[in-house]
Amino acid sequence: MAIFETKSDVESNGEKKDVARGYVGADGVHQEDFEAGTSTYAKLQRLAGKFGVEQRGIERVPEDERTDDAIMNVGTMWCSANMVVSSFAIGVLAIPVFSLGFADTALTIVFINFLGVLPVCFFSTFGPKFGLRQMVLSRYWYGYYVVKLVAVFNILACLGWSAVNSIVGAQLFNAVNHDMPGWAGIIIIALSTLVICTFGYRIVHTYERFSWIPCFIIFLIVLGVFAHSGNFNNMLPLNTGPSEAGSVLSFAASVFGFATGWTSYAADYTCYYPPSTSRMRVFLVTFSGLFLTLCFTELLGAAVMTASVNDPTFSAAY
């Protein structure tokens, strides 16, 4: 593949190649131009660009394309990703599975989430600096070959996460409309997710900027209805000893795994920000979007589950 000195050279010579053209960007780093030339590939790339589809895969985003300055989108993206039933369910597990009371559950949720989101916040700051996706960025820590194993684990985790979300979402559809079978709900959710993901970075950020709002309203309704019901039970004992320690650590592992599991995507959502973007600002915005949302949804889940101890209706629903 030829390497040209400027991007304009690529555009003027692009008809000679049917693949992405190489050139040296203003930052002195070899880049790829996806729209140069008259090949079918180049035409499809230009068409995709007109519809706002992200044209890059794992390639480095050159500095002249890192123009996103809406830093708050990082916070709303993580807020939307965690303002979901799955994080609510993590809090629910504390009482029936790990036999904890609300007080020790609340303390575990707050402190463990604080620790769990730190790696995500830290690695998010590398996106603007290097313009690389997290898995590609991880090559510099693991090496070219070992990171492939990490990527495989990440793929398996993504499949599991997608399966859980699709099934839980389908169950919610069925709860609202009993005539809708589970498989139909799964197909609707899977296709909706596919459409959004096909467009990539820009559309994902646009969608996530607002998608947390209806979810937040729903959780507020749940909070209001539950508080009005008077079923909250704060009298569950705060135990001590090895049994309590084991229960707390087990629940803490679930909370930590859920929070820090986002690390493998951290830089993916910040790689289009300029290199001059404040690392501290990226860190704090990411922290706010993750920590506040996780604590809110998990604490609400734990609070609602306290009612299952004395109320057979809640116990039967669980």
pLDDT band at 163; cut points 50, 70, 90 = confident
Digit-coded pLDDT (tens) for 73-132: 899 999 999 998 889 999 999 988 888 888 889 999 999 999 999 999 999 999 999 989
pLDDT, residue 256, reads 95
Four-CA torsion 195, 54, 154, 190, nearest 10 degrees: 0
- What is the three-class DSSP state of 32? strand
pLDDT score at 232: 78
Least confident of 66-70, 186-190, 252-256, 313-317: 313-317
pLDDT of residue 254: 93
As a whole-number percent, the residues of the chain with pLDDT over 70 amount to 85
What are the pLDDT digits (tens) for 195-217?
A: 888 888 788 888 888 989 999 99
The three-class DSSP label of residue 44 is helix
Q: What is the mean pLDDT of residues 57-85?
A: 87
- In this prediction, residue 168 has a pLDDT band, given cuts at 50, 70 and 90, of confident
Helix axes 279-305, 85-93, angle to 10 degrees: 60
pLDDT-based confidence at residue 32 (cuts at 50, 70, 90): low
- Return the percent helix, strand and coil in the chain, to nearest 5: 70, 5, 25
CA distances from 199 to 180, 195, 245 (A): 28, 7, 46
Strand pairing report for 30-33 and 21-24: antiparallel
- The reported pLDDT for the residue numbered 26 is 54
Query: Mean per-residue pLDDT for 148-158?
Result: 90
What is the pLDDT confidence band of residue 317, given thresholds at 50, 70 and 90?
low
Residues 248 and 107: their CA atoms lie apart, in Å, by 10
> What is the phi-psi region of residue 68: left when phi exceeds 0, alpha when psi lies from -120 to 50, beta otherwise?
beta
* 263 pLDDT higher than 80: yes
Evaluate whether 26 touches 5 at the Cβ level (below 8 Å): no
Average pLDDT, the chain: 83
Q: In this model, does residue 318 exceed pLDDT 70?
A: no
Interatomic CA distance for residues 251 and 167, integer angstroms: 23
124 contact partners, CB below 8 Å, separation of at least 6:
74, 266, 267, 269, 270, 282, 283, 286
**Domains (ranges, CATH) in the chain?**
3-50 (no CATH), 68-317 (1.10.4160.10)
Q: What token pair was written down for 156? A: 């398996």
pLDDT band at residue 35 under the 50/70/90 scheme: low
